[in-house]
């Protein structure tokens, strides 16, 4: 049946922010109150990874020496690939970001000392205690803090359950000079597509770890922002560096619940089933080695011994200590029958963080004028081949502040008017029908994530990557075909993005012919010192133009 779908009301705004995690909300708050801002979340406001963050926010709070050490730790965890200028900018800004959050009453944990200073925890790859946190629910507290501040600002409009489908760009409208003009957005509850035009658009839509079967991330981390930016004409970099967190609770009912690295930071040790430690055999820093090394060591032990999981033990610290430092983890584990105050927890690695993303400069500017990317969506150059623990939230905050300053400076200059939505081709679904077989989406979703897990995981080979590429090519064609025939839904939008992301990950992994950080490939087991400045940059094909402004557009021909 042909379904002629109505378009819902169009919208205009000064700044459209696609994503409401730490990056998106911090950007909204950093922009001046006279600027009209619209923030989208494809689900509820706190649906992103930020809410799930545990360990904390890395910040060198004890002076210049600490900043130099934070720089060294970041570059060393990133295996020499991080951009030193970016690392310096971000680390130097750490204390200011923490102070900014405190100005909103962020409830950081405090030490018991008389000065009541911030309690700093320790995580892998950090040479000293440097991670500010709110017990083990830093992300939840951070989101509550930012959401309260955003809701108090009348210039910030929040649209929950609105999923951006694609960016609207001048080039796609036939102009020779490109810029971003807004986005097509599916209002999930009303099931209609809005055209939102804006002077500036910021992609703050998080990472893409959902490309893998087992992940620590919430459901929506399907790389939408990276895929939208790529389709619109932005380059991506270093997509092969997918970080696997070493310690997820091995419990199917828990859907990959993270056991924070801070548990190891506070003394936790990793054990084989027979109770022996193994990390000292793998790295001099043992359990506090950088994450890629710990995840690979666990993977090696699991494969060598033919076991399902290893164990993380902190029970020897006692009940009072554990309840004070890890109240949320302790409670959640108890729900599944594990008491970490009395016994080791079963743990396995899972996909956790996307180090690569849309290429941006030091202000979060992408390749397309008026389009910014911040947070996990962006590749800033901070993380290199492996992100240092708790550097992500810091990066979200720093780049939100810098992007806000850049947008404000540009807004002060004479601006072309925001194009009336009426001049943008409306989203046209007149030639598509209601989906007839939803099972195609669920089946492809599952097959894609399973292939990524099996062939593009912690240890890679060229043969396995080629196998993955072959499957992705087939799935891609099938998903494109499905997309061009049927009305869009959140699931279909996400699946289309996920297959694009998987393709980018595999192509990047095949391009890097060395092992470095998170990319370990058996055919090239060594790190090539000459590749220390080599970023895997992929350039998209030219974005297809719209037929012409104002004309009805065939979605199939467009995307």
Per the CB < 8 A criterion, the answer to whether 167 and 230 are in contact is no
Q: Is 451 in the site for ligand SIN (CB under 6 A)?
A: no
Please identify, using beta-carbon distances, which residue of 53 and 150 lies nearer to ligand FAD.
Answer: 53
Reduced to 3 states (helix: H, G, I; strand: E, B; else coil), residue 501 is helix
Segment interacting with ligand FAD, rule: CB under 6 A, options 17-25, 336-344, 456-464, 531-539: 17-25
Q: Which does 22 bind (CB under 5 to 8 A by kind): ligand SIN, ligand FAD, none?
A: ligand FAD
Asked if 370 touches ligand SIN (CB under 6 A), the answer is no
Binding mask 235-264 for ligand SIN (x = CB under 6 A): -------------------------xxx--
The site partner of 137 among ligand SIN, ligand FAD, none (C-beta below 5 to 8 Å per kind) is none
Q: What is the DSSP secondary-structure string of 302-349?
A: HHHHT-S-EEEE-GGG-HHHHHHH-HHHHHHHHHTT--TTTSPEEEEE
**Cβ atoms within 10 A of the Cβ of 472, count?**
26
Minimum CB–partner distance for residue 445 and ligand SIN (Å) = 25
Could you say which of ligand FAD, ligand SIN, none residue 362 binds, taking C-beta under 5 to 8 angstroms by partner kind?
A: none
CA torsion 52→20→220→83, rounded to 10°? Answer: -80
426 is a contact residue toward ligand FAD (CB under 6 A):
no
Nearer to ligand FAD, 78 or 510 (CB): 78
- Show the CA angle centred on residue 277, arms to residues 273 and 282, nearest 5°: 120
- Binding mask 373-402 toward ligand SIN (x if CB under 6 A, else -) reads ----------------xx-x----------
- Tell me if 265 contacts ligand FAD by CB under 6 A: no
Is residue 40 at the binding interface for ligand FAD, with CB under 6 A as the rule? yes
- Residue numbers 53-72 binding ligand SIN by CB under 6 A: 54-55
- Give the nearest distance from C-beta 427 to ligand FAD in angstroms: 14
Name residue 270's beta-bridge partners.
312
Task: Among 234, 258, 269, 506, indicate the residue that binds ligand FAD (CB under 6 A).
Answer: 258
Tell me the three state secondary structure of residue 392: helix
Residue span binding ligand FAD (CB under 6 A) among the ranges 16-24, 59-67, 187-195, 470-478: 16-24
Does 477 participate in catalysis according to the annotation?
no
Q: Does 18 bind ligand FAD (CB under 6 A)?
A: yes
Closest CA relative to residue 211, chosen from 230, 232, 227: 227
Number of residues that bind ligand SIN (CB under 6 A): 8
- Which residue in the set 224, 292, 301, 514 belongs to the binding site for ligand FAD (CB under 6 A)? 224
Total number of residues binding ligand FAD (CB under 6 A)? Answer: 44
Q: How far apart are CA 345 and CA 395, in angstroms?
A: 31
Per-residue 3-state assignment (H helix, E strand, C coil) for 90-140: HHHHHHHHHHHHHHCCCCCCECCCCCCCECEECCCCCCCCCEECCCCCHHH
> Phi and psi (nearest 5°) for 433?
-120, 170
**Taking CB under 6 A as the rule, does residue 271 contact ligand FAD?**
no
Pairwise CA distance, residues 90 & 377, whole Å = 17
In the complex, the smallest distance separating the C-beta of residue 393 from ligand SIN, rounded to whole angstroms, is 7
| Binding flag, residue 47, ligand FAD (CB under 6 A) | yes
Least distance CB 27 / ligand FAD (angstroms): 9
The CA distance from 22 to 57, in Å, is 11
Place of tokens 């992705």: 472
141 belongs to the binding site for ligand FAD (CB under 6 A): no
* Minimum CB distance to ligand SIN, residue 327 (Å): 14
Please tell me whether residue 48 binds ligand FAD under the rule CB under 6 A. Answer: yes
SS3 sequence, 414-466?
CCCCCCCHHHCCCCCCCCCECCCCHHHHHHHHHHHHHHHHHHCCCEECHHHHH
- Give the whole-angstrom CA distance, residue 431 versus residue 429: 5
- Residue 24 within binding range of ligand FAD, rule CB under 6 A: yes
Q: Which partner from the list ligand SIN, ligand FAD, none does 371 bind, CB cut-off 5 to 8 Å by kind?
A: none
Spatial separation of the C-alpha atoms in residues 351 and 211, rounded to whole Å: 9
Location of structure tokens 């943008």: 424
Q: Report the site for ligand FAD in 348-377 (rule: CB under 6 A).
A: 353, 375-377
DSSP 8-state class, residue 51: G
Least distance (Å) from ligand SIN to the CB of residue 392? 5
**Binding test (CB under 6 A) with ligand FAD, winner from 216, 341, 366, 386:** 216
Residues 6 or more apart whose CB falls under 8 angstroms from that of 305 comprise 272, 273
What DSSP designation does 76 have?
Answer: H
CB count within 10 Å of CB 167 equals 25
Q: Helix axis angle, 391-412 relative to 138-151, nearest 10°?
A: 20
Largest CA distance in the chain: 72
Q: Does 51 bind ligand SIN (CB under 6 A)?
A: no
For position 139 contacting ligand FAD by CB under 6 A, the verdict is yes
Catalytic residue among 130, 172, 231, 291: 291
H helix or E strand, kind and range, residue 242: strand 242-249
Looking only at the bridges linking them, the beta strands covering 357-359 and 236-237 are antiparallel
Q: Does 74 bind ligand FAD (CB under 6 A)?
A: no
Is 94 among the residues that bind ligand FAD (CB under 6 A)? no
- Residue 122 found at the interface with ligand FAD (CB under 6 A): no
Please give the residues from 143 up to 172 whose contact with ligand FAD meets the rule CB under 6 A.
163-164
Q: Interface with ligand FAD by CB under 6 A: which residues? A: 18-24, 40-43, 47-50, 52-57, 138-139, 163-164, 204-207, 216-217, 220-221, 224, 258, 353, 375-377, 390-393, 396
**Could you give the residue numbers annotated as active site?**
291
Q: Interface with ligand SIN by CB under 6 A: which residues? A: 54-55, 260-262, 389-390, 392
């Amino acid at each position: 049946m042909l379904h002629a779908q109505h378009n819902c009301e169009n919208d205009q705004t000064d700044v459209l922010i696609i994503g409401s995690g730490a990056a998106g909300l911090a950007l909204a708050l950093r922009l001046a109150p006279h600027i009209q801002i619209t923030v989208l979340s494809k689900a509820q406001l706190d649906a992103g990874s930020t809410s799930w963050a545990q360990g904390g926010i890395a910040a060198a709070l004890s002076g210049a020496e600490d900043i130099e050490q934070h720089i060294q730790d970041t570059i060393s965890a990133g295996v020499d690939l991080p951009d030193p200028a970016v690392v310096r900018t971000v680390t130097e800004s750490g204390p200011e970001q923490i102070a900014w959050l405190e100005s909103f009453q962020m409830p950081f944990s405090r030490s018991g000392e008389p000065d009541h200073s911030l309690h700093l925890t320790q995580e892998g790859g950090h040479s000293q205690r440097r991670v500010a946190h709110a017990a083990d629910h830093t992300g939840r507290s951070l989101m509550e803090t930012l959401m309260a501040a955003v809701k108090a600002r009348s210039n910030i409009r929040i649209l929950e359950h609105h999923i951006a489908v694609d960016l609207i760009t001048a080039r796609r409208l036939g102009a020779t000079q490109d810029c971003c003009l807004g986005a097509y957005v599916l209002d999930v509850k009303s099931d209609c597509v809005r055209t939102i035009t804006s002077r500036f658009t910021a992609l703050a839509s998080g990472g893409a770890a959902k490309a893998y079967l087992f992940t620590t991330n919430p459901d929506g981390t399907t790389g939408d922002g990276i895929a939208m930016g790529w389709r619109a004409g932005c380059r991506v970099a270093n997509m092969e560096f997918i970080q696997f967190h070493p310690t997820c609770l091995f419990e199917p009912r828990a859907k990959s619940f993270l056991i924070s690295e801070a548990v190891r930071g506070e003394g936790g040790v990793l054990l084989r089933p027979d109770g022996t430690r193994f990390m000292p055999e793998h790295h001099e820093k043992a359990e506090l080695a950088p994450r890629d090394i710990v995840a690979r060591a666990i993977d090696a032990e699991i494969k060598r011994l033919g076991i399902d999981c290893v164990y993380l033990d902190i029970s020897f610290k006692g009940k009072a200590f554990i309840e004070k430092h890890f109240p949320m983890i302790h409670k959640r584990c108890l729900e599944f029958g594990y008491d970490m105050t009395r016994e080791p927890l079963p743990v396995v690695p899972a996909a956790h963080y996307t180090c690569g993303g849309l290429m941006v400069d030091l202000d979060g500017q992408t390749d397309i004028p008026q389009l910014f990317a911040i947070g996990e969506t962006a590749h800033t150059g901070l993380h290199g081949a492996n992100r240092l623990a708790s550097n992500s939230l810091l990066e979200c905050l720093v780049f939100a502040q810098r992007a806000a300053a850049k947008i404000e400076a540009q807004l002060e200059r004479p601006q072309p008017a925001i194009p009336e939505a009426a001049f943008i081709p409306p989203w046209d679904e007149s030639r598509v029908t209601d989906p007839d077989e939803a099972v195609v989406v669920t089946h492809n979703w599952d097959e894609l994530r399973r292939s990524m897990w099996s062939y593009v995981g912690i240890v890679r080979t060229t043969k396995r990557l080629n196998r993955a590429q072959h499957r992705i090519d087939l799935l891609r064609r099938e998903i494109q075909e499905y997309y061009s025939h049927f009305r869009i839904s959140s699931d279909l939008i996400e699946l289309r993005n996920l297959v694009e992301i998987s393709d980018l990950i595999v192509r990047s992994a095949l391009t890097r012919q060395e092992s470095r950080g998170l990319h370990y490939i058996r055919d090239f087991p060594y790190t090539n010192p000459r590749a220390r400045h080599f970023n895997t940059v992929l350039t998209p094909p030219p974005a297809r133009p719209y037929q012409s402004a104002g004309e009805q557009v065939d979605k199939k021909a467009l995307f």
